[in-house]
Amino acid sequence: MTAKVPAPGPQSRPASSLGRRLFQAAALVVLVSAALAWVGYHRYVDPGPLAQDSIVVVSSRGGLQAMGQTLAAAGVVRGDIDFIAAVRISGALGVGSQALKPGEYAFPAHIALKDVVALLRSGKTVVHRLTIPEGLTSAQIVALIEAEPALSGTIKDKPAEGSLLPETYFFGLNYGRAQMVERMQAAMRKTVDEIWQARASGAALKSPAEMVTLASLVEKETGVPAERPHIAAVFYNRLKLGMRLQSDPTVIYILTKGAGPLDRTLTHADLGIDSPYNTYVVTGLPAGPIANPGREALRAVANPLVSDDLYFVADGSGGHAFAATLAEHNRNVDKWRDLREKAQR
């Protein structure tokens, strides 16, 4: 007798159908997740929406979302949600070297989201520069500092003349103006100390302060770098002989009070002004520096040229003609006057 195999019951089909549906749903979830992951990955690594190089100030106020909104408003990222997701993926929610750092950043065009996060993590903010030319007075340097928009704060007191080192200074956005003055003063102290220690034995100076004062005269007398040691030699020779230095820039400093250049030529009456800064009246160095000398002027004073010259006058080419005797100097003066008269015709 053959055993009968029961036919599939009506309840087995729904179970099979449910399994297929669950499988299909799971597969769909996987596919959607994969698609989202693919899209998310490319949004993370592909070029971003920024059309051109831009500088953006990113603040830490308001947290991560505020950062994202700032970047989105600037066109650096597509939206703050994308930015937050990228930060979480990159692990930049930590502290220390892993944390995002606020500041002013330069974002290149089409920067990828991952690189945005990396840049904010690096802290490589925009670097500003302030160049201070040699020979400016402290009042002129303070004016440059106050006019620099990337700096912040105020300068309460004008720094002493000759206390600021002229050079290029680098800083970040909102660096303090008072801090900048302190940096310039520290740089000058360090430079003066180094040059003073390396001065030539023949440089008859009593103190670093005297070196700065004489260097300020040299700085103002010539714009030709090669002439500085020669100018310094002339001043040294005059000091040794007890001759007055007769430096026009000292008189100009008195008349302008260090505020800027004189808008006229000096007169004979100007040369007789009673002031401890007037080297036509006083014997020896003026009462103090008349400007802020640079490194090369300081080095020229610390290591002057070996020369017997006692005089110099403009030669018409931007430099000077030097002389050891008054007769030779007078001839040079006559040549200068002739050149000046010809130029005025």
Cα torsion 188, 194, 195, 199: sign: positive
Query: Tens digit of pLDDT for each residue in 102-126?
Result: 999 999 999 999 999 999 999 999 9
Q: What is d(CA 308, CA 329) in angstroms, rounded to the nearest whole number?
A: 13
- For the cut 60, the answer to whether the pLDDT of residue 38 exceeds it is no
> Minimum mean pLDDT among 5-9, 158-162, 276-280: which range?
5-9
Q: What is d(CA 77, CA 97) in angstroms, rounded to the nearest whole number?
A: 23
> Which is nearest to 62 in space by CA: 53, 49, 48, 73?
73
What's the chain's Rg over C-alpha atoms?
37
Query: Tens digit of pLDDT for each residue in 220-260?
Result: 999 899 999 999 999 999 999 999 999 999 999 999 999 98
Q: What mean pLDDT do residues 324-330 have?
A: 95
Question: Quick one: pLDDT band at residue 68, thresholds 50, 70, 90?
Answer: very high
Tokens matching residue 307: 């020369």
Query: Tens digit of pLDDT for each residue in 163-205?
Result: 999 999 999 999 999 999 999 999 999 999 999 999 987 677 8
Q: Please state whether beta strands 175-176 and 151-152 pair in parallel, antiparallel, or not at all (unpaired).
A: parallel
List Cα–Cα distances, 342 to 265, 317, 328, 329, 330, in angstroms.
18, 14, 22, 20, 18
Provide the mean pLDDT of the chain. 89
> Which is nearest to 161 in space by CA: 26, 252, 291?
291
Question: Quick one: pLDDT band at residue 83, thresholds 50, 70, 90?
Answer: very high
- For the cut 80, the answer to whether the pLDDT of residue 47 exceeds it is yes
| Token pair 């017997």 in the structure block, residue | 308
SS3 letters across 41-110: HHHHHCCCCCCCCEEEEECCCCHHHHHHHHHHHCCCCCCHHHHHHHHHHHCCCCCHHHCCCCEEEEECCC
Query: Tens digit of pLDDT for each residue in 88-104?
Result: 887 766 554 468 999 99
Residue 35, pLDDT score: 47
Cβ-proximal residues to 70 (8 Å cutoff; 6+ apart), any chain: 56, 57, 58, 59
Q: What is d(CA 333, CA 326) in angstroms, rounded to the nearest whole number?
A: 10
Question: Quick one: pLDDT band at residue 6, thresholds 50, 70, 90?
Answer: low
| Token pair 């989105």 in the structure block, residue | 72
List Cα–Cα distances, 66 to 50, 71, 91, 129, 332, in angstroms.
18, 9, 18, 29, 71
Q: What is d(CA 325, CA 311) in angstroms, rounded to the nearest whole number?
A: 8
- For the cut 80, the answer to whether the pLDDT of residue 139 exceeds it is yes
Residue 114, pLDDT score: 93
Tokens matching residue 211: 């070196």
Residue 169, pLDDT score: 98
> Minimum mean pLDDT among 156-165, 212-221, 280-289, 311-320: which range?
311-320
The 8-class DSSP code of residue 3 comes to P
Instruction: Work out the percent of the chain whose per-residue pLDDT is above 70.
Output: 87
- For the cut 70, the answer to whether the pLDDT of residue 128 exceeds it is yes
Count helices and strands (H / E) in the chain: 11, 8
Count how many residues are written for the chain: 345
> Minimum mean pLDDT among 5-9, 21-25, 333-337: which range?
5-9
pTM for this entry: 0.81
Question: Quick one: pLDDT band at residue 343, thresholds 50, 70, 90?
Answer: confident
Q: What is d(CA 267, CA 48) in angstroms, rounded to the nearest whole number?
A: 67
Cα torsion 250, 255, 256, 257: sign: positive
Residue 88, pLDDT score: 87
| Token pair 């500003």 in the structure block, residue | 128
